[in-house]
Amino acid sequence: MSPEVGPDAPRRYWIERLGCAKNDVDADKVEGTLLADGLVAASGPDDADLVVVNTCAFIETARQESIETILALAEARQGGAELVVTGCMAARYGDELRAALPEVDAVLGFEAPVAPSRRRIPVTAAPLPAIDLLNLPRPRSPRPWAYVKVAEGCDRACGFCAIPSFRGPQRSRSIESILDEVHALDVREVVLVAQDLAAYGRDQGVGERSIVPLVRAVGERVDRVRLLYLYPSDLTDGLIDVICESGVPYFDLSLQHVSRPLLRRMRRWGDGERFAARIADIRRREPDAAFRSNFIVGYPGETEADHDALLAFVEEAQLDWCGFFAFSPEDGTYAVGLDGTVGVALIEERLAELRELQDGVTAARRDALIGADVEVLVDEAGVGRTFREAPEIDGVVEVPESLEVGELHRVRVTDAAGPDLSAVAIEGGV
């Protein structure tokens, strides 16, 4: 319990963060508004006067997790504490949530401040002033790395994705505002994120893609700059070169599948042959490049031949990291009206087959690093990452706890266990 109590004590807040890296940045921006309004962080949700749940609505499992979290925090909060729901689910299903969850004091979209005053105005009582989370300041990062969102929304119309319907069309920040945020965060590694990162700078067909100069500018200010969520058709030679030159040759490619007919049904570009050729080209330029991708399993119309093609690609491509997700029908998307529904049992079977295959690929690629000398950024005592591991989603490197947190160290890999490595310090390896 906070030692400061009484009527004049500052209100305490707790933010429960759900969803992707982009949502996490939004939570940071919300936290910045709370701090600016005079609130202080609580030690937990049961110690807070204001509990905020930043929800995710990307797929059904994420929505279910959001609902379960809201209900659990409604039970756990202290008497008199307010419970506010924000984030993607609040923006997409605000009216439904207000009707279905009487436990919640307010459901707020992206433009309503969570705590505009010491005594918050109920959302139904008066209009609240609009805010722009994308360009708000945020607190300094407590970790030696941080996500930085460079754009909001998306101009694409992928058949499975509802994000443009509630996040809106793409709008990019200025390079200057991004660099100001990078400076304020004071970290060693910046992870750039957006719904369509490679399209940064070109909004609704207007403007020039500016991701290459942005990466160069950020790279001049931090030790590491990493890019997440790259659409494969926008992976130009210039972008490949600047990523390789950055010292973090890590390519997170949003492929989704490799069957050309199925990708067209997804309203997406490419096929397995084009993807494999691009990956091979990158490896010719940078043999140590690391790759991540995600794939949808069970999209309407996915045949056994499509599934076999994906299995063959996973085996051939030897990507370091892969995520496989069951198709989730989303209201208002093109995919909802398609025929060729794939049964749940068959989807689970295909997922298991793909995950088993990729687990073996990942383990083999990690085993191949045993004996190598690598540079790690120590995120916390005993835990570091090389350029091959993005924070929170990939494996880690277990290092001696004596290595200083927030610093780069040279270490030697001694063992591998699935996605994770173990390493020892090299004398003079800072």
User: So where are the chain's domains?
Assistant: 12-133, 140-363, 373-425
**Residues of the chain falling short of pLDDT 50:** 1-3, 116-129
Helices (H), 37-146: 60-76, 88-92, 94-100
pLDDT value of residue 299? 98
What is the C-alpha to C-alpha distance for residues 339 and 347, in angstroms, rounded to an integer? 16
Backbone angles phi, psi at 72, to 5 degrees: -65, -40
CA separation for the pair 292, 388 (Å, rounded): 9
pLDDT at 351: 98
Mapped onto helix, strand or coil, the DSSP state of residue 149 is strand
CATH of domain 140-363: 3.80.30.20
Considering the segment(s) 373-425 as one domain, its CATH architecture is Beta Barrel (2.40)
In a 3-state reduction of DSSP, which class is residue 181? helix
Residue 384's contacts (CB-CB under 8 Å, 6 or more residues apart) are 376, 377, 378, 396, 397, 398, 399, 403, 409, 411, 423
Residue range 12-133 forms a domain whose CATH class is alpha beta
Q: Find out whether 354 and 323 touch, Cβ atoms under 8 Å.
A: no
Residue 5 pLDDT = 54
Contact of 297 with 351, CB cutoff 8 Å: yes
Tell me what the pLDDT averaged over the chain comes to. 90
Contacts of residue 220, defined as CB under 8 A and 6 or more positions apart, other chains included, come to none
Is residue 50 within 8 Å of 12, Cβ to Cβ?
yes
Q: Which pTM value belongs to this model?
A: 0.85
Specify the pLDDT at position 428: 67
Non-local CB neighbours of 425 within 8 Å, separated by 6+ positions: 399, 400, 402, 403, 409, 410, 411
CA–CA separation, 101 and 98 (whole Å): 6
d(C-alpha 298, C-alpha 313), whole Å: 17
Per-residue pLDDT tens over the stretch 93-110 = 888 889 999 999 999 876
Question: Rounded to 5 degrees, what are φ and ψ at 390?
Answer: -75, 145
pLDDT at 8: 67
The pLDDT of residue 125 is: 38
Q: What is the pLDDT, as a whole number, of residue 44?
A: 93
Structure tokens at 265: 């049904």
Tell me how long the chain is: 430
